[in-house]
Each structure stands twice: as C-alpha cells, then as structure tokens.
C-alpha cells in the first residue's frame, strides 16, 4: 500500500518533505524545549510506516543507499573535525579515562548485551556495539543547558560525547570491515590481506586528503570563496576512492581526514567547522527522517520484550559498569561518577550509522542485522526521553546542579562594566569581565568580580573559559571595531539575541564606517562607550527594582523618568538584557535592572 501511494510523489517534493520535517522538528523542539530527536523520530514514523506518505526505498530506489552513505560520511568527517589532540590532552583526567578505558569497555559491554540479551549474532553485535560507544553530542548539549549542571560533571559528559563520537564510528568501521572480509574472503590469508589493504589505503587517503587541504589553504592556493566547495569535493573523492578498495573503508578515511585538518590549525578553521556544523544539522535531520520513514512494520514488530530487556540492560547495567570501571581510583567524586554512569543518551549519529551498517550487513549475509535499526531506534528513544526528564532531578538529588543562574561575559574593564558586574553579582548572577589589558581589570579585581586577562578570542580563552556557563555576551570596550569583531565571531555560540555591544561612534567618513549588519545589539538606550562611562563618572548607578501589584511598571516610570532599563529578571530567574527598542515586562515579580541618575536615590518598591 505504501509503495503505491508514494508512486506519484515527485523525488524533489520527497526531498523537500524530508528537509521540512527534519528542520521543522528541530525548530519545534527548540520552541518547546524538548529533545529534537524525539520529534524527528515521531515525524519519520508518521510519514513512513504509519500513514505511508513516504516510502524512501520505493521512492529513491538504488540512490537511497549512496545518499545515506555520503551523508553519514560528511557527519563523521565533521565529528573528526571536533576531535583534536589539544582538547583531549588538556581535558580532565576523568574525560581521558572515559575515552581511553571507557570506549573499549563500553564496546565489550554493549556487544555482550546485544548477543546474550537481544540475541544478535557476534558479527552484528560487534558492529552495533562499536556504534553504541557514541553517547550523542547533539543530544548532550541541550540536556546540559536544561539541567544546569556544575562545571566538572557537565564537562565530563560533554567531552565524552564529543570525543567518543568519531571513536565509536571508527570502532564500528573496524568491526564492520573485519566482518565483511571474513564473510567474503576465500581464505584466512586473503581476509587478512584484504583488511590490511583496505585499512592502509583508507588511512593513507585520509591523511593525504587532510594534508593536501591544509597545505592548499595555508599557502593560499585556494581562494576564500572556494574553500568550502573544494573541501566537499576532496571529501567525496577520498570517500569514494577508499570505498572502492574496501567497502565502507571510506568512512574511516574521512574521519581520519577530519582529525588531520583539526590538528592543522588553519586560519579559516573556525569558519569551515561552523559551515560543516550547519551542513551536519541538515544531514543529520534528513538521514534520521529517511531512516525512520524507511522502517517497516515488520521491523517495528520485532521490538518485543526482548528489545525492552536489552534497553534496560544497557541503561542500568552496561553503561553504569563501563563508567564506574573506567573511573575507578580516579579523582572524580562518587556523586559525579553516579551521575555520569546513569546518563548516556544516544543520538542521531548512532541511528544513522546503525541503519547504514545494518543494511550493509544484511547485504553480505548477516540476516539478523536487520534488527539493528529498530533496536537503535528503541535505544535512542528510550535514553533521550529518560535522561531528558530524569537528568535534572538526579542532579538535584546528588547536589550537582549549579547554584547560580546562567552567567554573563562582559568584554572590557571600565567603570560602567564594573558597576554592571557588581549589580549582577548582587542578584546572584555569575559574571566575568575579560580584557586584554591587565591594568583595565584592576578595579574589577578590587570589587571582587571574576576576571580573565587575555583576548576572549584567543586559544587560552577557549581552553580556560567555560562558555557553557554563560548565556549572554556584552562587548563594552572603548574599541568599536574590536567590540564588533568579538560580537560577530561569538554570535553563533551565544545566539545573536544574547550578544550586545555599545553603540558605535558615528564615523565622519563612510570608508571608515563598519557595516550595520555586523556586531551585536545595542544595549540600554543605545549610548556609546564614552557617554555610558560619563554617566558613571557623574554619579549614576545600577539598581534593581521589583515590580508588584501596587508598584507597576507605569508607577516605576513615573517615579524614575530618567532611568535607563538595562535588563530584567522574571520570576523564574531568567535574565534578559534590553536594547533601545525593548521594554521591560509589566508583570508582578519582575526585577528591572536600570541605570539611575544621582537624584533617584529614594527607596522604591
């Protein structure tokens, strides 16, 4: 029935439907503060096996496999870009243990659970067990923001997910290649030779592709406008050539290529990686929708009590034992060990890679590998839903939630920024002032405000500043160009709605004026650095006023006609900075942080 119903659906319309559902699910999840993977899973199942709107196997035919294969290759390449030895070397001892010891232990525990509990063959168990090392970096980040964990347990979970992403994929590739060679080779000697040849070619091509891209970009052999297209073409060539030598060896090659480029410290690396992240969001959502829609009722019906028992064993036995064994005799406190041990959400990468390898294993004669995809869906859905609702209560029970609200990074040490930082601290909001000039931080240090000496865009800041703990960036130095540079560069990290700066001084000549499209939002009433600091020198000060039923916003404005609203804090503790066109909410319990003139010293509210 599904095939006949999809016969009239044009391929272009089918691709548009997949893209709209994938991106739409992620947007809706952002609005509802839900895990996006749950909505994507639901959307894929609804248009696929439930209503039969889309049957990818019938609609795209022989092209479905190559499309998913290339998408997974790009996803793994982007994962390789995140894996650099500097980050791994500078990570905490606990993270190293979770990677060096936890990855192989997790592989073994997962394979045992798959074989003895789910009933899969050793071939399917070895491949799927490698994929299960991945704990979902795309899922962990929103969960950490929602749970507001302390810095160390959050770092353990975040870095484990980031580093194990390509490690798990490489483990699955290794296991898959061994299975393929053993299944297809005529002798043991031939199997070893094929495997060695495939791995050697994949490694050499991956290194050659990474080295070639790094050298070409560094020596300016490729213009800036063509760097991303050239990168994509080289990526596809490396994948295709490796895959020709040994089936699926291309996945190993592109992962190695990504790791090599990450270590090359290219000047345009941040832009390349950011573009890759955007492409990966589209590919991940598209692959996930396609795989979910391509799931048959027969596969879903295989999710019986055995599948439920398998999921429970993974969550309650395999994952905890792996983490606790990896962290034994470490300096990680026992409460943090328990939190990490019982927090292991799997994500889209696991489903995408599992679906691809499951199909490949079936093609070479491993019949029970058809159960890999539905088991992957079940594991992902169960872990995401469970940890999405249980992580915050568990963190509170173990007393591992951050005591303070999401913080604010202020760029530039000046009387205005120090006064603002003191006001935020009095409201129990974490704040830090950064400045490349050590002398400008003196007044902040004397006021007891946390400081960071250095450039916020430097490598030292990336390694020492915990950006996850901060939600808002205020660029407030006396250099408009520097403010604009930092605001533009870090806007994707914080979200453009959370990046502010002083109004730029109007340039007399248009050739010196910066484009209006660059930078962050103006803060307060849109004053320049010099005007704002002149107010502080004249005796203006920051004050917080709480609105009530009797003391409304209108009343506050009547009593303080010259006050400049800077930010508001609602009843839930959410901080929102205001611009020239933003008004505070007229709601009971809202606190208004404003800059008051010297005369406004009367008691309020």
Q: Which of 130-134, 239-243, 299-303, 519-523 is least confident?
A: 299-303
Residues 108-120: what's their mean pLDDT?
93
Token pair listed for 109: 């525990």
Residues 359-373: what's their mean pLDDT?
84
Q: Of 14-28, 126-140, 177-191, 296-310, which has the strongest mean pLDDT?
A: 14-28
CA-closest candidate to residue 28, choices 285, 277, 284, 280: 285
Residues 68-92: what's their mean pLDDT?
65
State the pLDDT at residue 109: 93
> For the chain, how far is it from start to end, CA to CA, in angstroms?
68
Q: Cα-atom radius of gyration of the chain, to the nearest Å?
A: 27
Residues 103-130: what's their mean pLDDT?
91
- Check: CB of residue 389 under 8 Å from CB of residue 167: no
A 10 A CB-CB count for 586 gives 12
Residue 584 C-alpha from the chain's centroid: 31
Report the alpha-carbon angle 280-282-287, nearest 5: 90
Q: What is the pLDDT of residues 317-335, one digit of tens each?
A: 999 999 999 999 888 889 9
**155 falls in which pLDDT band (50, 70, 90)?**
confident
- Check: CB of residue 490 under 8 Å from CB of residue 473: yes
State the pLDDT at residue 477: 92
Distance CA 564, CA 596 (A): 7
Can you tell me whether residue 474 is helix, strand or coil? strand
Name the residue with higher pLDDT: 271 or 104.
104
Report the share of the chain in percent with pLDDT over 90.
20
DSSP state letter for 398: T
Regarding pTM above 0.85, the answer is no
Q: Looking at the predicted structure, is the pLDDT value of residue 149 above 80?
A: no
**565 falls in which pLDDT band (50, 70, 90)?**
very high
Q: 151-184 and 348-363 are packed helices; what angle lies between their axes, rounded to 10 degrees?
A: 10
The dihedral through the CA atoms of 264, 142, 342, 384 has a sign that is: negative
Residues 75-101: what's their mean pLDDT?
68
Structural domains for the chain: 2-397 (1.20.1530.20), 405-596 (3.40.50.720)
CA distances to 229, 340, 422, 576, 601 from 408, rounded to whole Å, are 37, 27, 12, 11, 26
- Check: CB of residue 113 under 8 Å from CB of residue 310: yes
**66 falls in which pLDDT band (50, 70, 90)?**
confident
**414 falls in which pLDDT band (50, 70, 90)?**
very high
Q: What is the pLDDT of residues 203-217, one digit of tens each?
A: 899 999 999 998 998
CA distances to 341, 569, 603 from 600, rounded to whole Å, are 54, 21, 9
Distance CA 370, CA 374 (A): 8
Specify the pairing of strand 470-475 against strand 450-453: unpaired
Q: Looking at the predicted structure, is the pLDDT value of residue 202 above 80?
A: yes
Distance CA 595, CA 175 (A): 63
State the pLDDT at residue 423: 92
Token pair listed for 589: 């319990």
Distance CA 472, CA 497 (A): 9
State the pLDDT at residue 226: 85
CA distances to 122, 135, 400, 486, 534 from 112, rounded to whole Å, are 9, 18, 32, 49, 69
State the pLDDT at residue 86: 53
The dihedral through the CA atoms of 465, 466, 468, 470 has a sign that is: negative
Q: Which of 231-245, 259-273, 583-597 is least confident?
A: 259-273
CA dihedral of 60, 66, 69, 71, whole degrees rounded to 10:
-70
Q: What is the pLDDT of residues 440-466, one digit of tens each?
A: 899 999 999 989 888 887 767 766 676
Q: Return phi, psi of residue 209, to 5°.
A: -65, -45
State the pLDDT at residue 512: 55
CA-closest candidate to residue 570, choices 591, 554, 549: 591
Report the share of the chain in percent with pLDDT over 70.
83
Name the residue with higher pLDDT: 116 or 525.
116
CA-closest candidate to residue 380, choices 91, 37, 2: 37
């Amino acid at each position: 029935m599904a095939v006949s119903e999809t016969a009239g659906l044009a391929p272009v319309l089918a691709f548009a439907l997949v893209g709209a559902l994938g991106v739409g699910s992620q947007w809706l999840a952002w609005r509802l503060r839900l895990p996006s993977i749950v909505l994507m899973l639901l959307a894929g199942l609804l248009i696929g096996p439930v209503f039969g709107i889309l049957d990818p196997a019938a609609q795209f035919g022989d092209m479905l496999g190559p499309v998913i294969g290339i998408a997974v290759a790009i996803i793994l390449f982007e994962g390789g870009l995140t894996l650099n030895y500097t980050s791994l070397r500078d990570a905490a001892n606990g993270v190293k243990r979770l990677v060096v010891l936890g990855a192989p232990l997790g592989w073994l525990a997962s394979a045992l659970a798959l074989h003895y509990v789910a009933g899969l063959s050793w071939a399917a168990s070895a491949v799927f067990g490698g994929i299960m090392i991945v704990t979902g970096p795309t899922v962990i980040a929103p969960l950490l923001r929602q749970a507001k964990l302390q810095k160390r347990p959050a770092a353990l979970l975040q870095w484990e997910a980031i580093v194990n992403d390509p490690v798990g994929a490489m483990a699955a590739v290794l296991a898959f290649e061994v299975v393929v060679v053993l299944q297809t080779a005529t002798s043991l000697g031939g199997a070893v030779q094929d495997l060695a040849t495939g791995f050697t070619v994949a490694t050499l091509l991956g290194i050659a592709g990474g080295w070639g891209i790094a050298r070409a970009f560094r020596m300016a052999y490729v213009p800036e406008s063509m760097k991303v297209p050239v990168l994509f073409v080289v990526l596809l060539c490396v994948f295709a050539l490796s895959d020709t030598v040994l089936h699926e060896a291309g996945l190993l090659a592109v992962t190695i290529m990504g790791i090599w480029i990450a270590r090359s410290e290219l000047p345009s690396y941040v832009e390349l990686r950011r573009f890759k992240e955007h492409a990966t969001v589209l590919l991940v959502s598209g692959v996930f929708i396609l795989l979910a829609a391509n799931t048959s009722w027969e596969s879903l019906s295989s999710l019986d009590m055995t599948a439920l028992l398998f999921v429970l064993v993974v969550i309650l036995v395999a994952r905890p034992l792996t983490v606790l064994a990896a962290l034994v005799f470490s300096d990680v406190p026992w409460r943090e060990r328990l939190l990490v041990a019982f927090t292991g959400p799997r994500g889209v990468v696991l489903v995408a890679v599992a679906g691809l390898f499951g199909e490949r294993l079936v093609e070479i004669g491993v019949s029970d590998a058809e159960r890999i995809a539905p088991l992957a869906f079940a594991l992902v859905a169960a872990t995401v839903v469970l940890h999405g609702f249980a992580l915050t209560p568990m963190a509170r029970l173990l007393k591992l939630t951050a005591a303070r609200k999401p913080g604010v990074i202020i760029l530039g040490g000046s009387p205005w920024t120090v006064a603002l930082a003191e006001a935020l601290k009095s409201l129990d909001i974490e704040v830090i002032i950064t400045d490349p000039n050590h002398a400008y931080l003196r007044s902040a240090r004397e006021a007891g405000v946390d400081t960071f000496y250095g450039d916020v865009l430097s490598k030292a800041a990336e390694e020492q500043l915990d950006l996850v703990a901060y939600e808002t960036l205020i660029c407030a130095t006396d250099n408009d160009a520097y403010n604009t540079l930092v605001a533009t560069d870090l806007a994707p990290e914080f979200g453009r709605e959370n990046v502010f700066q002083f109004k730029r001084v109007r340039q007399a000549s248009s050739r010196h004026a910066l484009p209006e499209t660059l930078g962050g939002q103006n803060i307060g009433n849109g004053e320049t650095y010099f005007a704002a600091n002149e107010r502080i020198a004249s005796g203006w000060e920051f004050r917080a006023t709480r609105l009530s039923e009797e003391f409304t916003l209108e009343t506050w404005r009547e009593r303080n006609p010259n006050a400049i609203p800077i930010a508001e804090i609602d009843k839930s503790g959410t901080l929102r900075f205001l611009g020239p066109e933003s008004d505070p909410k007229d709601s009971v319990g809202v606190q208004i942080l404003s800059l008051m003139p010297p005369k406004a010293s009367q008691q309020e509210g």
